[in-house]
Structure 1
Amino acid sequence: MKHLSKIAGMTLAALALAGALTSCSKKQVANSAPEQKVVRINYQTGNLCGAPVHVAWKLGLFDEELAKIGQKAEYVVVVEGGATLAEMIASGKVDAGYGLYATQLQAIENGLPISFTSGIHIGCTKYYVRADSDIQSVADLRGKTIGVPGLADSAVMNLKRKLMDVGIGVTAENNEVEFVAYASADLAIALNNGAVDVIGAHDPVATKGELAYGFRKILDTGTDEKFVKEYCCQQFVTHKLLSENPAGAAAVTRALQKAAAYVEAEPRAAAQLQIENDLVAGDLDFNAALLEELNYQPSRSLGKKTFDAAARQLQTAGILKKTTDIEKLIEQGYIELFGVPDGYIYDSATKTYKEINGSRA
């Protein structure tokens, strides 16, 4: 009996030891399990043409693409009057996002660590004069004062390229126009009061100003022959994300391409989503009409052609430095990610996405 008790005691002790070892083993496995990767994506409120980011977020496209590779998304708001997008990128608070590519060209030249991965939409910048102005076209802007949202804004970069085409000087050695920065909300007032001769603004501010004051449009990047196949807003990823998590970079690019294709096919649904989620205010009919006017068909190949053309012309204008290796800037500033198609088309009837592969003309 004592012998059996001794054996039972030894067995219980062994089981207890095994249980303890198993528990330790489980803790070690748990402690050694890799932390789930997170991709931090920028967004803005009040930004109508930022619809693809809002759609990719609220329809779960970012989550869906990242979940396929065991990752997740976090969303970082860029607040007007706070840190700029470039500052947030430089401080490591944003991994990927979307914005006006031309606004970041000089920053990239100066070391901002991002690369663009796809064109997202065409045409959201418009230039206006007062109805009684004698200015009829860009060719009449020599000696004029132009109000813009910022001196490095894409509204400046685009107009300088157009001015070069018509022979008006924009270089430091031969500058024949003056740009003045105003808060976006003040641009229409500045033009109406005569403080400037022209304004360049992004929608919805541009169209609201036109309707409120009866301004006359002299240039629209959505219809002008120079810009009609150039993307104003593009997807970017940081170099840190590219080096540490290229699969995450590809996932968020695919998601935003899909979201852009959705906006192209369903502009009213996209506008409603923005309003219902308090991401953009305004009238549904007005917002939907503006989204429908813009071209949201995404394309990586046309996005790169845009970047290439702008970089070369802006270097000629002296906005990018003459000493910059432009080929290297283009090669590093715009990249092709493995697993990312040229773009997508959204089929509203079947609610499915079709990949577009191969370069678009």
Structure 2
Amino acid sequence: MVYPKLITAATLSVLIMAGCNKNRGSTPRLSNTVRVGYVGITCEAPIFSAVENGFFKEEGLDVKLVKCEWANYKDVLALGGFDITHHLVMYFLKPIEQGLDVKFTGGIHRGCLRVQAPVNGKINTVGDLRGKRIGVPGMGTPPFIFANRVLGAHGIDPAKEITWRVFPAGELGLALDKGEVDAVADSEPIGSLLVAQGKVKNVADQAQDAPYKDEYCCAVIVNGKYLASNRELNTVAISHLRYVPSVSGAEAAVNSAAAEMKVAGMLSPSTNVAELGKRAFAHLDGVTDEWLQNLQVEKVAGGQVPPNQDIRLYAELILQDKEESCCKAKKAIATTK
């Protein structure tokens, strides 16, 4: 993932920016409890950093973490099983099109997803995927949706010209090894692990390839009813941002993702992308890019990764032999491939 600033235990404020209003005293809080949903992927690391570093407590918030599964994650949020999370924009657009009552409020980071093929294989470009078998962690999951977008943008019909095969995320590399698929679509950390093990090369990389590299893949997502009834829950939290998210970037991502999903046949042909974007995104009073840019952002030594450098350094760490670490234990795997 490529973050605007290194996550550095910093996502508290954005996770709960759904209730923000700069006039703190106008309405009393209904509750100081906020339920944050998670699946357990790398994208969500800031959630746990914020909890462990006490950022929620600093703002007087009682946070309850709610563990969910991919299969019911969207429905649990819509039905009020938890209040807020940050997750992949593409994952929620189809349900919102169909009436799911959730809202995006701000962008978190970019670059979670990839399409990958065997490092010594004949698949080098998206065009080479035509007629091939692609492994995914589930139909309708973000990697599946990203692959559909990429294929559709290159004139490949994902429904007719691709054979989709589902495997547990941790077994996608094994499926490649066994020849059960020709390529895989995955999210972090699977993509970096497969690269580190010398198994794959990137065919499409959301962190590096235009137009995806400039698109926020993950955004704050809030239950619609919770947003309507708790608009002032987190005023102070917003003023303690440890990195700079984006409001306009998230809104642009919603629209660009929706446009390509429509081309790929993942949204209804009759869907008005602009109208869907308006319905899916909630602008919060006083929360703008201009306001965010005036906030004092904490800088951590070494935390400002150069814009042309991929933050996913796991592969490089594995290949380094500088110290005893969990990464060094993987060196043999990577160097023998």
| Superposition TM-score tier, normalisation by shorter sequence | 0.7 to 0.9
Cα–Cα, structure 1 residues 114 and 332, in superposed 2: closer, same or farther, change >3 Å? same
**2:55 pairs with 1:49:** no
1:144 touches 1:197 (CA, 8 Å); kept in 2? yes
TM-score by length of 1: 0.68
Counterpart residue number, 2:182: 197
**2:285 pairs with 1:300:** no
Counterpart residue number, 2:212: 227
Identify which of 251, 254, 257 aligns with 1:310. 257
State how far apart, in whole Å, the 2-side matches of 1:105 and 1:130 are: 31
Identify which of 118, 132, 144 aligns with 1:130. 118
Cα–Cα, structure 1 residues 35 and 220, in superposed 2: closer, same or farther, change >3 Å? closer
Counterpart residue number, 1:332: 279
Counterpart residue number, 1:15: none
Match of 1:127, SS state, is: strand
For residues 1-59 of structure 1, what are the alpha-carbon distances to aligned partners after superposition, in whole Å with 9 as ceiling and x for unaligned? xxxxxxxxxxxxxxxxxxxxxxxxxxxxxxxx9863422112344x2221222223223
Match of 1:187, SS state, is: helix
For residues 70-85 of structure 1, the aligned pairs below 5 Å read 72-80=61-69, 84-85=72-73
For residues 151-192 of structure 1, what are the alpha-carbon distances to aligned partners after superposition, in whole Å with 9 as ceiling and x for unaligned? 11221222222222222223x5xx211222221111111111
For residues 48-85 of structure 1, what are the alpha-carbon distances to aligned partners after superposition, in whole Å with 9 as ceiling and x for unaligned? 221222223223333444x3xxxx3322332447x632
For residues 294-350 of structure 1, what are the alpha-carbon distances to aligned partners after superposition, in whole Å with 9 as ceiling and x for unaligned? xxx521111110110111221233211123343332112012111324246733269
Q: CA deviation at 1:232?
A: 1.3
**2:107 pairs with 1:119:** yes
Match of 2:44, SS state, is: helix
Cα–Cα, structure 1 residues 85 and 93, in superposed 2: closer, same or farther, change >3 Å? same
Identify which of 242, 255, 258 aligns with 2:241. 258
Unaligned runs of 5+ in 1: 1-32, 262-296, 351-361
Identify which of 165, 169, 187 aligns with 1:180. 165
Q: CA deviation at 1:138?
A: 0.8
Q: Which amino acid aligns with 1:222?
A: A
Cα–Cα, structure 1 residues 188 and 244, in superposed 2: closer, same or farther, change >3 Å? same
Cα–Cα, structure 1 residues 194 and 349, in superposed 2: closer, same or farther, change >3 Å? closer
Counterpart residue number, 1:29: none
Cα–Cα, structure 1 residues 137 and 309, in superposed 2: closer, same or farther, change >3 Å? same
For residues 134-153 of structure 1, what are the alpha-carbon distances to aligned partners after superposition, in whole Å with 9 as ceiling and x for unaligned? 11111211101111122112
1:62 touches 1:251 (CA, 8 Å); kept in 2? no
2:117 touches 2:200 (CA, 8 Å); kept in 1? yes
Counterpart residue number, 2:157: 169
For residues 78-129 of structure 1, what are the alpha-carbon distances to aligned partners after superposition, in whole Å with 9 as ceiling and x for unaligned? 2447x63213213311111111121111111222211111110101212211
Aligned sequence identity (%): 29
2:37 touches 2:65 (CA, 8 Å); kept in 1? yes
Identify which of 14, 35, 52 aligns with 1:58. 52
TM-score by length of 2: 0.72
Q: Which amino acid aligns with 2:31?
A: Q
Counterpart residue number, 1:272: none
1:119 touches 1:231 (CA, 8 Å); kept in 2? yes
| CA RMSD of superposed structures (Å) | 2.6
Pick the structure with greater CA Rg. 1
State how far apart, in whole Å, the 2-side matches of 1:216 and 1:313 are: 24
